[in-house]
Amino acid sequence: MIALFFRDLKLSIRAGGGAMIGVLFFMTVVAVIPFGVGPDLNLLSRIGPAILWIGALLASLLGLDRLFQAEREDGSLDLMLMQETPLIATVFVKCAAHWAATGLPLVIAAPLLGLFMNMDELAIGATMLTLLVGTPAITFIGAVGAAVAVSLPRGGLLVSILVLPLAIPVLIFGVSAVYAAIEDPAPFLPPLMILAAITLFFAVIGPLAAAAALRHASD
């Protein structure tokens, strides 16, 4: 299992891997916002957390469709399906590796992009923390979509459409936690806890559903 984790990390870093694509997309989306909205610093810092979250959500959806499709195309998926190790564990490890390669760089890039949006330290810190807690949920939800669309040759957009409605709660609670941190009366902890709960919930349900979908997609 550890071998699988490191193999997937290596693959995403090597040529053709998707690790940097997500970060670049994230940077592109956030970097054009100030040009579009105009140099109103107050407005930028007010919408900053929401923009960062939307950018991160879209960027983490970007490479998801290849999660199982690449394995299926070269026949590796067949061997993974045959093993004694529960498929759920295999899916979970693949999700973890995918998040470490694509989700974690988004969290790390967030402070830099926060400066673009004229956000203060507290807002940047809160955004990073909520992204750290929330983005794994997007990967786990996305794994289900990727497993369902595994045999479709151009399933990329379909995966995003399937996954987006389920990822909306993550976005809502992520953004509301950040706003709770910067605006005084609202408490920060409850939305953050709900966000963590969503992540834990999908960490269980996601691999379970994805494994079931993969079992039935084999031909």
One of 35, 36, 74, 185 touching other proteins (CB under 8 A): 74
Q: Which is nearer to other proteins, 17 or 103 (by Cβ)?
A: 17
Give CA torsion, residues 63, 207, 101, 33, to 10 deg: 50
CB of 6 to other proteins, least distance (A): 8
Count the neighbouring beta carbons within 10 Å of the beta carbon of residue 185.
5
CB of 7 to other proteins, least distance (A): 5
Count the neighbouring beta carbons within 10 Å of the beta carbon of residue 10.
12
Instruction: Decide: is 218 part of the binding site for other proteins (CB under 8 A).
Output: yes
One of 121, 183, 184, 219 touching other proteins (CB under 8 A): 219
Could you give the CA distance from residue 126 to residue 187 in angstroms, rounded to a whole number? 13
CB of 17 to other proteins, least distance (A): 7
Could you give the CA distance from residue 143 to residue 155 in angstroms, rounded to a whole number? 13
In the range 4-33, which residues lie near other proteins by CB under 8 A? Answer: 4, 7, 10-11, 14-17
CB of 218 to other proteins, least distance (A): 5
Torsion 71-211-98-67 (CA) sign: positive
CB neighbour list of residue 128: distance below 8 Å, 6 or more residues apart: 107, 110, 111
One of 36, 38, 75, 185 touching other proteins (CB under 8 A): 75
Q: Can you read off the two tokens belonging to residue 69? A: 């499709």
CB of 105 to other proteins, least distance (A): 19
Instruction: Decide: is 63 part of the binding site for other proteins (CB under 8 A).
Output: no
CB of 152 to other proteins, least distance (A): 17
CB neighbour list of residue 38: distance below 8 Å, 6 or more residues apart: none
Instruction: Decide: is 83 part of the binding site for other proteins (CB under 8 A).
Output: yes
Count the neighbouring beta carbons within 10 Å of the beta carbon of residue 97.
21
> Do the beta carbons of residue 85 and residue 208 sit within 8 Å?
no
Instruction: Decide: is 153 part of the binding site for other proteins (CB under 8 A).
Output: no
Q: Which is nearer to other proteins, 11 or 138 (by Cβ)?
A: 11
Instruction: Decide: is 183 part of the binding site for other proteins (CB under 8 A).
Output: no
Using the 8-state DSSP alphabet, how is residue 183 labeled?
S
Q: Which residues bind other proteins (CB under 8 A)?
A: 1-4, 7, 10-11, 14-17, 73-76, 78-79, 81-84, 218-219
